[in-house]
Amino acid sequence: MSYTEEFKLAIMGYAKDVERYLAGDKSDYVYKAARTEKSGVFDANYANRSKLCWALEYDVCDVPNKIELVRELFLEELKDRETNGFQGIGENLETLTSLLLKLGEPKGSELFVRAKNANFDCECGYEPRIIKTTPIEELSRRYCIETLSELGETDLALKLTDEFKAEASTYEDLGDILSLSKWATHRKSDREFAITGIYRLYQKAPEAFKAFDAFSAVNDYAETLIEKGDIAAALDVFNLNREILKKFGRGFYKLGAKLIANGAEAPVKIWEDILPSIKEDLKRNMVAPICRDNMLSAAELSGDRDMLKKLERYFKKREREKL
């Protein structure tokens, strides 16, 4: 079964959610305020309401007086837009707006005026518009997996990702898997799979990579090896790809310093390589404070007391500037 067929089955299954709502069992779909320290206020039922939006968008079941149902859901969505800590417009609001317009709601409706004023992002970017429904068969694999994850269909999202990995062969495929690891699956194994695959493609055909993409392929792979504790292999990658790394001085010295700080062999040699780039950034006050610990450790392990003192003074100055 193709990924679009599995995605379609999931969407068709949301007919039961529509039926629950129409039967008066609405508690899982209406606005429900929740809060976390990181996110602030959010709607705990947003994903459940998304299921209704998908069901209505793709007409998975008959709905009497559909416009009244959509208006009701629109009002619940506005409660989230008006209170959400991250603000934003959101796909639910866009979908419900499009549905209302298709069902005959006037473009000047008070509902749309309220939505426009719901938050700063809506004020800047929300406009009532009809969105053409994309046939499910035309949806990308990445989009389907991301959507399933957002809808809480975790098992299916992971299953489709594993199938994707089994077939992935291009830079674009691996880039999609890397994105999915961050935004959908949250699996370290997916990230490592994508980064390793991209680096291998670069090794086979470096001429096919633009400069920054080549740097990212090398740097990300070396960083992954360091995270896994394989410092010797990471150093081999660093040494083998010095020329492309040097084109991006800050990235070059950040990676070199991290290698030294994590116990790479021949720290003095690495330090000599990255030192010119460090000095250049110091002149411009461009060494990022986030590099502090690795930079200081690398300078000390390399025996460069003069640069260690300069870096200590630099980072202390940056800390004072933040106060």
d(C-alpha 50, C-alpha 144), whole Å: 14
Say how many Å lie between the first and final Cα of the chain, rounded. Answer: 58
What pLDDT is recorded for position 38? Answer: 85
Which phi and psi (to 5°) does residue 108 adopt? Answer: -90, 15
Pairwise CA distance, residues 90 & 163, whole Å: 29
Distance CA(92)–CA(27), nearest Å, equals 18
Which pLDDT belongs to residue 322?
Answer: 77
Per-residue model confidence (pLDDT) at position 34: 96
Alpha carbon distance 318, 323 (integer Å): 9
Q: What is the pLDDT of residues 157-196, one digit of tens each?
A: 999 999 999 999 999 999 999 999 999 999 999 999 999 9
Which tokens sit at 231? Answer: 């410092």
**What's the pLDDT at 323?**
66
List, for the chain, all residue ranges whose pLDDT scores fall below the cut of 70: 323
Q: For residues 199 and 23, what is the distance between their CA atoms, to the nearest angstrom? A: 54
Helix (H) or strand (E) holding 307: helix 305-322
* Domain spans of the chain, in order of start: 3-137
